[in-house]
């Protein structure tokens, strides 16, 4: 199984974007004990469909990535990608409905630079974290292109991947993103299939395993069963709430 793991914030709140630092530590220890290779996003996308590996991604660029995740990733020698909201660097994540998730500090450019020097891939998550599908073509182009330019200017490296805020995308949005980068991540809860769309890659949100030390990855039948069961539960919850079923 090839899979992309998604994290946002490492904190102790019960919010839908939060995984306790202790749970993250247990998950990384479990990956090491299971011998599941951890590779960067580009390498994962180019592995054959029969391969077993995971890539680790963090959305938004919370400061707790640097304080909680980075030291542990270094200890294990694991690569990771952080999708940065460039217009909010050094501020916070107060871009959604109040109360839905904790408002927490985001990394500054200096802190992001420290991560970059440690080998973390800094990728694009737009300028403002707005949903892209309602925007005009020009506004989408600015959200995507300006974030890429900011990362190039600040780090000296042009991003090679993108993550859609809220997993929200359309064919037109994907085409704009494809003009800039070879890979883009969505929020469909699944492993990579035999022929994934390179600009709508599915990811497994680790928040659903925050009470466990293991993750629904690997090539065992148990891992595949856990992944299938969690995906069906997620789809049912979305359906009962009248939400779009994202997979």
Give the model's confidence band at 222: pLDDT under 50 very low, under 70 low, under 90 confident, else very high.
very low
- Domains of the chain and any CATH numbers: 2-213 (3.20.20.370)
Say yes or no to pLDDT of 244 above 80.
no
Q: What is the Cα–Cα distance from 102 to 87, expressed in whole angstroms?
A: 19
Cβ burial 8-41 (10 Å sphere, 16+ → b, else e):
bbbbeeebebbbbbebbbbbbebbeeeebebbbb
Range list of β-strands (E), 62-218: 81-84, 121-124, 161-163, 183-189, 201-205
CB 59 within 8 A of CB 7: yes
Report the SS3 class of residue 222: helix
Beta bridge partners of 106: 62
Q: How many CB atoms lie within 10 A of CB 88?
A: 19
Q: What is the pLDDT of residue 236?
A: 46
Question: Which tens digit of pLDDT belongs to each residue from 177-195?
Answer: 999 999 999 999 999 986 7
Average pLDDT over residues 34-52: 93
Question: Which tens digit of pLDDT belongs to each residue from 61-107?
Answer: 999 999 999 999 999 999 999 999 999 999 999 998 888 899 999 99
- Look at 54-68, 101-115, 221-235 and tell me which has the smallest mean pLDDT: 221-235
Q: What is the pLDDT of residue 243?
A: 46
Say yes or no to pLDDT of 239 above 80.
no
Beta bridge partners of 125: none
* Rounded (10°) CA dihedral 143, 81, 164, 68: -100
Give the closest residue to 200 by CA, choosing from 218, 183, 220: 183
What letter does residue 29 receive in the DSSP assignment? H
3-class SS shares of the chain: helix, strand, coil, % to 5: 40, 20, 40
**Where is 5: in which H helix or E strand?**
strand 2-7
Query: pTM (2 decimals)?
Result: 0.90
Give the closest residue to 61 by CA, choosing from 116, 15, 98: 116
Q: What is the Cα–Cα distance from 247 to 245, expressed in whole angstroms?
A: 6
Question: What count of Cα atoms within 13 Å lies in the side-chain half-sphere of residue 44?
Answer: 33
Alpha helices by DSSP H, the chain: 21-34, 41-46, 63-64, 70-76, 109-117, 137-155, 171-178, 221-240
């Amino acid at each position: 199984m090839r899979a992309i793991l998604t994290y946002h914030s490492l904190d102790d709140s019960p919010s839908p974007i939060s995984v306790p630092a202790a749970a993250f530590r247990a998950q990384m220890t479990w990956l090491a004990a299971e011998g599941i290779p951890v590779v960067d996003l580009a390498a994962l996308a180019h592995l054959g469909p029969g391969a077993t590996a995971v890539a680790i991604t963090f959305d938004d660029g919370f400061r707790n990535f640097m304080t909680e995740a980075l030291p542990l990733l270094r200890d294990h020698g694991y690569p990771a990608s952080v999708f940065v909201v460039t217009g909010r660097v050094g501020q916070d994540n107060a871009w959604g409905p109040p109360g839905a998730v904790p408002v927490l500090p985001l990394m500054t450019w200096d802190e992001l630079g420290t991560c970059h020097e440690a080998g973390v891939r800094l990728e694009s998550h737009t300028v403002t974290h707005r949903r892209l599908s309602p925007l005009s073509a020009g506004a989408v182009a600015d959200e995507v292109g300006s974030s890429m330019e900011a990362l190039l200017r600040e780090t000296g490296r042009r991003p090679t991947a993108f993550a859609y805020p809220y997993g929200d995308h359309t064919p037109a949005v994907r085409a704009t993103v494809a003009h800039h980068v070879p890979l883009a991540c969505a929020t469909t809860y699944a492993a990579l299939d035999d022929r994934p769309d390179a600009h709508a890659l599915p990811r497994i949100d680790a928040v659903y395993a925050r009470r466990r030390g293991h993750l629904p990855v690997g090539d065992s039948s148990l891992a595949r069963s856990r992944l299938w069961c969690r995906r069906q539960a997620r789809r049912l919850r979305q359906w009962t709430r009248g939400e779009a079923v994202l997979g």
